[in-house]
A = this chain, B = another copy of it.
């Protein structure tokens, strides 16, 4: 491809994503929806200006790995411990309920295959902690008990989701669903999650040492990106999706990391902050490319909108998506307004849901229609969450304290 063609394409992607994300935020919609829309507008669904090509895919992949890195970096594992039992219930139910309901609806109602049904169920388990945090902060409930429960549950859902993602990935590339494949993945995953953070922590000590003795500026961007790339490659080598490596690297460098056997390691707060600060421009540059690319890979024109299939599909799974996350919230011992707020806060699938859907699409499990249907469900939950949380909270404020 000609260099200048690539430049114009990249430029258009960056600017459109930025513009639509900014507009989205101003009308209280999460930015990721704007970026997704940018891809839909630029792609075969509307303008047909861009097709995903190899270079864009690679940049998008780097973007999502860096995003998972920053998610890991910000993850506070101790939070789950602190909020205890309620987080667990909300998280576990909010994981298994959508999965089971989604699987059953897909397998028996829509008569899709085993693998597709597993993927659909998996996609519905996601919770976007980023969007959740932002919306709770908007209504100032993030430090309240219900906010803490939600955040703890979201972290746990992230971890469970990552395990499920690795399993589904193995099934999709390894040749089908089998106990052997599943066991293999779980063994590798356990080893990976035990060893990788230790290795990453050692490497970060090395990086920190060089940061102090170096004579050349710019060590952190190079070293951290290299670390993330290495762990992504390592994850692939053990049969897991690359973004898991990014997540593990971020987790290992996070400020309060809790290793197995009760060994707590504290990263130097200043160093962690420096990593955050210097990686931020790079992450902010690359990450939108991934969500634009999801939009680019969608072809809404190829869907038969006149048939009832896409509508019933989206509706059924949307209902399951909402109801599934509520089950956990309903079961815990809190006053009812808080239970509802928790349920609504767990709802947005956001970035994590899109990652699952993209995995399903790339591995050929989801055809274009199912892919579009899942994206519609994810987008709806992501769109409605902030609106409904804000609406519900404002109307019922007096019942909260």
Identify the A interface with B (CB < 8 A): 1, 3-4, 6-8, 10-11, 14-15, 17-18, 21-22, 25-26, 31, 54-55, 57-58, 61, 210, 214-223, 225-226, 229-230, 232-233, 236-237, 242, 278-282, 284-285, 288
CA distance A18 to B242 in the complex (A): 24
Find out whether the CB atom of A4 lies under 8 angstroms from the CB atom of B233: yes
10 interchain pairs (CB within 8 A)? A4-B242, A7-B232, A7-B233, A7-B242, A8-B230, A17-B222, A18-B223, A220-B281, A222-B284, A222-B285
How many copies of the polypeptide does the oligomer hold? 2
CA distance A58 to B7 in the complex (A): 9
Q: Nearest chain B CB to A34's CB is how many angstroms away? A: 9
Residues of B contacting A285 in the complex (Cβ-Cβ under 8 angstroms): 218, 221-222, 225, 282
Residues of B contacting A225 in the complex (Cβ-Cβ under 8 angstroms): 14, 285
CA distance A29 to B11 in the complex (A): 36
CA distance A288 to B3 in the complex (A): 18
- Residue of B31, B210, B236 near A216 (CB, 8 A) is B31
Q: Nearest chain B CB to A352's CB is how many angstroms away? A: 20
Given contacts A229-B8, A281-B282, contact A219 B58 (CB under 8 A): no
- Residue of B54, B216, B218, B230 near A55 (CB, 8 A) is B54
**16 additional contacts (CB under 8 A) given A14-B229, A18-B216, A221-B285:** A1-B54, A4-B233, A4-B236, A4-B242, A7-B229, A7-B233, A7-B242, A10-B229, A11-B230, A14-B226, A15-B226, A55-B58, A218-B284, A221-B282, A225-B285, A278-B281
Residues of B contacting A3 in the complex (Cβ-Cβ under 8 angstroms): 57-58, 61, 236, 242
Given contacts A25-B216, A215-B22, A215-B26, contact A281 B221 (CB under 8 A): yes
Find out whether the CB atom of B21 lies under 8 angstroms from the CB atom of A216: yes
Name the residue in A1, A55, A226, A282 with the highest tally of chain B Cβ atoms < 10 Å from its Cβ. A226
Q: Nearest chain B CB to A270's CB is how many angstroms away? A: 17
Q: Which residue of chain B has its CB nearest to the CB of A21?
A: B216
Given contacts A4-B242, A281-B281, contact A216 B22 (CB under 8 A): yes
Q: Nearest chain B CB to A23's CB is how many angstroms away? A: 10
